[in-house]
Amino acid sequence: MIIQKLKIKIIALGKIKEKFLKEGINEFLKRLTPYASVEILEIPAIDVKDENLTERILNEEGEKILSHLKPLDYVITLEIEGKLLSSEEFANKINLLTNDGVQEIVFIIGSSHGTGKNVKSRANFKLSFSKMTFLHQFARLILVEQIYRAFKIIKGETYHK
């Protein structure tokens, strides 16, 4: 399998505050350099003070997210309702997209309240990491590690299991 250097954008609501998460994310971004151009765009999350306004706020956040997408971007949202993939299946998905001529894959990580319907409807693929619940901040670290693992699998290079 041959893969061209791909553009990957991660659009995430909120900032990573924990030092250990920032360090982990930066380590995997550094490791990804030979395989892909990866950009992380942080969009400020809107604080939900009234649960009755959650859907409206998610759609407002969604408009900010959508403004950063191009028509040909392949959009993968991280969602609880998304499809569960093994690391090998995820690698295959990235490889197939690249072979199909996709120039840029955009991963979207919503807020701790989720993602607006407007963003979900734009998604080409909905991905779930697990049936388990994780701290929202972990999603970014898990994502960059799995992208790195995917490229190692695609290239047939060794990486710990």
The full set of domain ranges for the chain reads: 6-155
Dihedral-angle region of residue 116 (phi above 0 means left; psi in -120 to 50 means alpha; beta otherwise): beta
User: What is 6-155's CATH number, 3.40.1280.10, 3.30.300.160, 3.40.50.620, 3.30.1490.20?
Assistant: 3.40.1280.10
pLDDT tens per residue across span 71-100: 999 999 999 889 999 999 999 999 999 999
Tens of pLDDT, residue by residue over 119-155, are: 999 999 999 999 888 887 899 999 999 999 999 999 9
Are residues 145 and 94 in contact, defined by beta-carbon separation less than 8 angstroms? no
